[in-house]
Amino acid sequence: MIKKFLKFPDNFFWGTATSAHQIEGDCGVNDWSPNFFIKYKNQLPWCQDALAKIPAVGLACDHYNRYEEDFALLQKINNNTYRLSLEWARIEPVKGVWDKDALEHYRQMLISLKNKNIKIFLTLHHFTNPAWLAAEGGWLNPKAVKYFCRYAKFIAEEFGNLVDFWLTVNEPGSYVFCGYLQGFWVPLQKSWWQGLRVFCHLARAHRRAYRLIHQTVKNKFGKEPLVGFANDVQAYANYVKHRFLDQLHVYLVYKISNHGFYILSGKKSHDFLALNYYFPVRLERRGLLFGQLGNIDEDRRTTETNWLIHPHGIYEVLMDLSVYKKPIYITENGIATNDEDLRERFIHEHLEETYYAIKAGADVRGYFYWSLLDNYEWAEGYRPKFGLIAVDPKTQERQLKKSAFYYTQIIKENGLWLDY
Ligand code: BGC
């Protein structure tokens, strides 16, 4: 047997990622909160549906009160970087009014990370909106762009000296796909037209926020911030390789899905690329161009969320995005499973493919496992377990899983061993 060490670049960022709503506990004032559904069920008909379909977030991991404990665990598993998001609704619970306590709370969180020498990737929008914005139509309303930019500027003024990397929005593609096309996430809509509108508004918001964050941080703190967004990317492929139309089909889907937001928001509005990769999609062409988005059931390995496990896909998307010649960060990659051997294998295989992409020229500078803690998985509630750390919902006790120790070892060695 051959044993080989795959060494990652020096100063590689090793981290984990989370989002506020999924771990903090119900803030009561965003558009995923049961309070909101109850309050607006007459005004917004989808809220009635949401009461039945969207699981209540409840206390989640009570991270709002336990962040110090969780940051200590971050250190324990050797993370040198961490991706978190702010809950906009806590900071601006009433339109135009900033909540000083929430702001101070987040400031203390960021300072705590800084003191621990952990680099900070801060997401400004990770799917949830303040209730007042949702009541005004959310991202369908063009004014959302203005509101978001005002918030982004405010945060840049307040936290510009603490944040290392800014992510304006998380996964505009899946936000639109799940919330506006498939309708299983808030606001439970199924309309291509609405989806397109929201996508365009998010792209406009990114472009403007990019400029504002740059101006603000430069003026106030004299430094150039690094700003991007977290892109959900899939590795698209087809079954038939030798037909032009099948190839064209993949090309178009790749372009729209993985590159659409970059193009729409302006390629100059990105200091780095951040991608979230989970699964591949094989396309089956039906008719002239349009085909099936999805995989024929070939009885392959899947996760608890029924996603195909395809590590080579991360190599493909990394190579595809490296054409922009910008630093790349994998801001999410993870698996929902109760099988710790499988989680380790998932991490190992995805990192192995990442290593090959780096060797092939992709400028990958960081990897964030999703997620630090078992948490609230949107419409699926608490069933899928993505965490490196288990959380007992009754006692809130945290317990490091086997895979957490495995990931720690990789971080310590700055690479992984391959046997073949
Ligand atoms: C999202 C996370 C989510 C994860 C797993 C990503 O699409 O950014 O919020 O929990 O995937 O589904």
Task: Output the pLDDT for position 416.
Answer: 98
Q: Is the pLDDT of residue 182 over 90?
A: yes
Pocket test for ligand 1, best of 22, 330, 370, 372 (most atoms within 8 A of CB): 370
Residue 170 Cα: closest atom of ligand 1: 8
Pocket test for ligand 1, best of 22, 378, 382, 385 (most atoms within 8 A of CB): 378
How far away, in angstroms, is 121 Cα from ligand 1 center? 16
SS3 percent helix, strand, coil of the chain, rounded to 5, is 45, 20, 35
Task: Output the pLDDT for position 249.
Answer: 87
Q: Is the pLDDT of residue 294 over 80?
A: no
How far away, in angstroms, is 361 Cα from ligand 1 center? 27
Pocket test for ligand 1, best of 305, 377, 382 (most atoms within 8 A of CB): 377
- Residues of the chain above pLDDT 90, percent: 93
Q: What angle do CA 67, 70, 74 make, to 5 degrees?
A: 130
Q: Which of 270, 354, 284 is nearest to 319 (CA)?
A: 354
Residues 360-385 have pLDDT tens digits of 999 999 999 999 999 999 999 999 99
Task: Band the pLDDT of 70: cuts 50, 70, 90.
Answer: very high
Residues 10-28 have pLDDT tens digits of 999 999 999 999 999 999 9
User: From CA 173, how far away is CA 231, in angstroms rounded?
Assistant: 7
Number of structural domains in the chain? 1
Report CA dihedral (173, 176, 178, 179) to the nearest 10 degrees.
160
How far away, in angstroms, is 20 Cα from ligand 1 center? 12
Residue 19 Cα: closest atom of ligand 1: 9
Q: Which domain holds residue 194?
A: 3-419
Average pLDDT on 259-269 reads 96
Instruction: For residue 154, give the 3-state DSSP assignment.
Output: helix
Instruction: For residue 192, give the 3-state DSSP assignment.
Output: helix
Task: Output the pLDDT for position 98.
Answer: 98
Instruction: Give the residues surrounding ligand 1 with Cβ less than 6 Å away.
Output: 19, 22, 170-171, 174, 232, 276, 332, 370, 377
How far away, in angstroms, is 200 Cα from ligand 1 center? 21
Give me the phi and psi of 176, to 5 degrees please: -75, -45
pTM above 0.85, yes or no: yes
Residue 377 Cα: closest atom of ligand 1: 10
How far away, in angstroms, is 31 Cα from ligand 1 center? 17
Q: Which of 149, 151, 170, 45 is nearest to 106 (CA)?
A: 151
Residue 336 Cα: closest atom of ligand 1: 5
Q: Which of 296, 298, 284, 275 is nearest to 253 (CA)?
A: 284
Residue 345 sits in a domain whose CATH number is 3.20.20.80
Task: Output the pLDDT for position 206.
Answer: 98
User: From CA 214, how far away is CA 220, in angstroms rounded?
Assistant: 10
Task: Band the pLDDT of 295: cuts 50, 70, 90.
Answer: confident
Average pLDDT on 341-351 reads 98
Task: Output the pLDDT for position 297.
Answer: 82
Q: Which of 75, 85, 138, 86 is nearest to 112 (CA)?
A: 75
Q: Which of 102, 269, 276 is nearest to 202 (CA)?
A: 269
Among protein residues, the one whose CA lies closest to atom 9 of ligand 1: 19
Count CB atoms within 10 A of the CB of residue 238: 19
Average pLDDT on 104-132 reads 99
Average pLDDT score over the chain:
96
Task: Band the pLDDT of 286: cuts 50, 70, 90.
Answer: confident
Residue 380 Cα: closest atom of ligand 1: 12
Task: Output the pLDDT for position 150.
Answer: 99
Task: Band the pLDDT of 288: cuts 50, 70, 90.
Answer: low
Task: Output the pLDDT for position 283.
Answer: 86
Residues 203-225 have pLDDT tens digits of 999 999 999 999 999 999 999 99
How far away, in angstroms, is 215 Cα from ligand 1 center? 30
Q: Which of 317, 249, 248, 251 is nearest to 280 (CA)?
A: 317
How far away, in angstroms, is 73 Cα from ligand 1 center? 21
Average pLDDT on 246-274 reads 95
How far away, in angstroms, is 57 Cα from ligand 1 center? 15
Residue 171 Cα: closest atom of ligand 1: 8
How far away, in angstroms, is 287 Cα from ligand 1 center? 33
Q: Is the pLDDT of residue 272 over 80?
A: yes
Task: Output the pLDDT for position 290.
Answer: 62
Q: Are the CB atoms for 322 and 354 separated by under 8 Å? A: no
Residues 141-153 have pLDDT tens digits of 999 999 999 999 9
